Structure 1
């Protein structure tokens, strides 16, 4: 009997060991999640959104577009709160979510630690109760990234769904994320592009979207903003290889250079060290106390006046053979675009560790009218802080990687020179 018991115990231990080994060896078919990125030109400035699946209704997912914001501390969007989402209290064609109570720790954290320091935002207090329950809601301040105005929203529990990927293909398999976001009234989005009804926080905040994308995904975010309206760019999260057509066997990571991300007090945005700007071998040194920020809502790179003055002076000198044109706001240096083959030197950002980010003509010269093209940099004023903000015109068709684990920033320079673009990811679903 003792021998039989020992044999049973050995067999059970062997089974458990094999089960644990199988679990340990399981590798999911995906290494990242992926969503399309759309360009919008029907607002006050060019903007970009990600498309997310928000809720499952009538056997299909509803989709919503969220404005990409590298600074926002948390997601906020057009929705309403109901205490019981299963009681038929949600109106048709409306996104309903469950509220965070003012008594829950998330409410205190978001209000005290991650609120915007904006003079237009009044202090928030506990919200009133909603019909059907007795708890108070949790109002939070949100700032419109287009207008800078302040508004009130109510913190909630959300559920977002995205597709999985291996960096080359989009899989049928889905990944669910469950962030604390906030519901804002529809009126908050009047300045937004058509069909964009939310703000997707991609910042370093613990309440931004990346914070809710967990194992097996690694903390690496890749963003490729399209220059065209006709086809989407792409956003990845996870440690993938990245492939763009037509070069389906070339990993985009082979094009990348990396520089450290720099922490900045009172900001969840992303900053890098810029030592100088070089235009045709002439270097314009950047003061050591000047900060450089990456932005997905500023349309053009903004330079503090002392830096802008030298950049324009140098660029004017090296393009003196191109006929000038009267400047068109907000630009200060413009050219006669009727000249065949308008070609200008690259503008090089010299970064920390000697890395160079080349800004090609496609990212430096903006075609404003049929006859006028302008240097796509603007004067931010004498007291601009940050001193340099790299805007979206300079980011388009550049593959950007934010390695949040190692606090580094990867950049490709223009993909057009690699015979591809941000609009060349294959979004066709595969099994």
Structure 2
């Protein structure tokens, strides 16, 4: 096992590499993977990242919401100034690649986001529930390489496709400084697709969502592992279990093109267990039918897992029963949660409150995602913890939407070549988490 002296030495070498890069120009090595940080906004329970966009000599720092199901990158251009920005003209190859719909124009002074005869693409704000057509353009963005443990060198990615948004589009985004959105979906102009293509990396990316940003940041890895979650020196990529990614042949998001499959990420949940006992509900709800309805979707913008009503009601009933067997006292519910408990009767452990474990049984040989108290419960108010699942109604498009709270402190690797989702066990079991201090 590595000593603290070894980890300190690695940190010093990292700093020396930056010092050398600043004082002696040299050809940057081809990155093996690219890293972006993840922060959590505690008020909205949303995750966002930060990157630099614009001319390398005067870039603009952009905070952008992370949306696993969105196909593109967009941000507010109303005050954006960049000498390297270029609009995409109507009918151009770049417009076709972005699935541009129409030409847009502008009667004001020309600037990024205000041009004539320009390709128009959709921009969608999931919190404002606002869909609009905005200008497609391209600019240079700056990203950073990683060895899985530390961040090393910065790289400029020219001609990165993005769309400009106006002030109305960005309303109600989480936090005071979030001015855009980073899409990670299965689409040609999503962030991982463009980055992987530019650097010729493996077509895969991984997320490690933090439960808080107070003690460090989470991770977006583009290009694959290794994944080191210090102080652990274990390469987490070597112990991931995999389940197939399912393609829903019908569009499910707000931006739907007729005849095209969904760009969102679906998996097969075979059943749900609480304390090892199966929750009983109609298994047909777990399959995607011929109209694209049903199944299980993975989401970073749903704060908590959403269950179709008949699943939810039986799930909550069974959880309450198992909690009572463990002498966990139920208290009045706190909206929007259906079952709440006295936290003093569920002692805290390394994996959160000591409540019944929830297992999502996934497609594959002995593949399951075990949710411990840190991921199944949320503190609603003082001394009250609630089951962090939401009733999605009787007829939702998707039966189960796995939300961010349930994904925190797990590594999720989306491999688009093999069409699989790699999944770690809870990092809390290893006395580590998705909150780290990596050198930037």
Q: Same fold (TM over 0.5)?
A: yes
Superposition TM-score, scaled by structure 1 size: 0.82
Q: Cα offset for 1:296?
A: 0.6
Change (3 A) 1:135 1:27: closer
Which of the residues 268, 281, 284 maps onto 2:276?
281
Tell me how far apart the structure 2 counterparts of residues 390 and 331 of structure 1 sit (CA, whole Å).
Answer: 16
Residues 73-129 of structure 1: CA distance to partner in whole angstroms, max 9, x if unpaired?
21111115xxxxxxxxxx7x74573211123233345446xx7xxxxxxxx554357
Residue equivalent to 2:328: 322
Unaligned runs of 5+ in 1: 1-25, 81-90, 116-123
The question of whether the paired residues in 2 share the 8 Å contact of 1:274 and 1:350 is answered with yes
Which of the residues 94, 102, 107 maps onto 1:106?
94
The question of whether the paired residues in 1 share the 8 Å contact of 2:142 and 2:154 is answered with no
Paired residues in the alignment total 378
Which of the residues 294, 297, 301 maps onto 1:293?
297
Q: How does 1:22-421 map to 2 (within 5 A)?
A: 28=29, 30-42=31-43, 45-56=44-55, 59=57, 61-80=59-78, 94=81, 97-111=85-99, 126-128=104-106, 136-176=117-157, 178-192=159-173, 193-213=175-195, 214=197, 215-230=199-214, 231-247=216-232, 249-264=233-248, 265-266=250-251, 267-284=262-279, 286-287=283-284, 288-289=286-287, 290-320=294-324, 321-339=327-345, 341=347, 342-353=353-364, 354-421=366-433
What RMSD over aligned residues (CA atoms) do the two structures have, in Å? 2.4
Tell me how far apart the structure 2 counterparts of residues 277 and 78 of structure 1 sit (CA, whole Å).
Answer: 41
Of residues 382-391 and 179-188 in structure 1, the stretch that sits farther from structure 2 once superposed is 179-188
Residues 194-219 of structure 1: CA distance to partner in whole angstroms, max 9, x if unpaired?
11111101100112112212233111
- 3-state SS of paired residue (2:381): coil
The question of whether the paired residues in 1 share the 8 Å contact of 2:75 and 2:180 is answered with yes
The question of whether the paired residues in 1 share the 8 Å contact of 2:356 and 2:372 is answered with yes
The question of whether the paired residues in 2 share the 8 Å contact of 1:141 and 1:151 is answered with yes
The question of whether the paired residues in 2 share the 8 Å contact of 1:33 and 1:175 is answered with no
Superposition TM-score, scaled by structure 2 size: 0.80
Of residues 235-244 and 173-182 in structure 1, the stretch that sits farther from structure 2 once superposed is 173-182
Tell me how far apart the structure 1 counterparts of residues 59 and 86 of structure 2 sit (CA, whole Å).
Answer: 18
Tell me how far apart the structure 2 counterparts of residues 398 and 260 of structure 1 sit (CA, whole Å).
Answer: 17
The question of whether the paired residues in 2 share the 8 Å contact of 1:178 and 1:212 is answered with no
Residue equivalent to 1:5: none
The question of whether the paired residues in 2 share the 8 Å contact of 1:130 and 1:137 is answered with no
Tell me how far apart the structure 2 counterparts of residues 27 and 162 of structure 1 sit (CA, whole Å).
Answer: 13
The question of whether the paired residues in 1 share the 8 Å contact of 2:149 and 2:230 is answered with no
Q: Cα offset for 1:417?
A: 0.8
- 3-state SS of paired residue (1:107): helix
Q: Which has the larger radius of gyration?
A: 1
Change (3 A) 1:283 1:95: farther
Tell me how far apart the structure 2 counterparts of residues 102 and 36 of structure 1 sit (CA, whole Å).
Answer: 34
Tell me how far apart the structure 2 counterparts of residues 382 and 260 of structure 1 sit (CA, whole Å).
Answer: 27
Residue equivalent to 1:427: 438
Tell me how far apart the structure 1 counterparts of residues 110 and 318 of structure 2 sit (CA, whole Å).
Answer: 66
Change (3 A) 1:136 1:340: closer
Tell me how far apart the structure 1 counterparts of residues 428 and 322 of structure 2 sit (CA, whole Å).
Answer: 23
Tell me how far apart the structure 1 counterparts of residues 338 and 238 of structure 2 sit (CA, whole Å).
Answer: 36
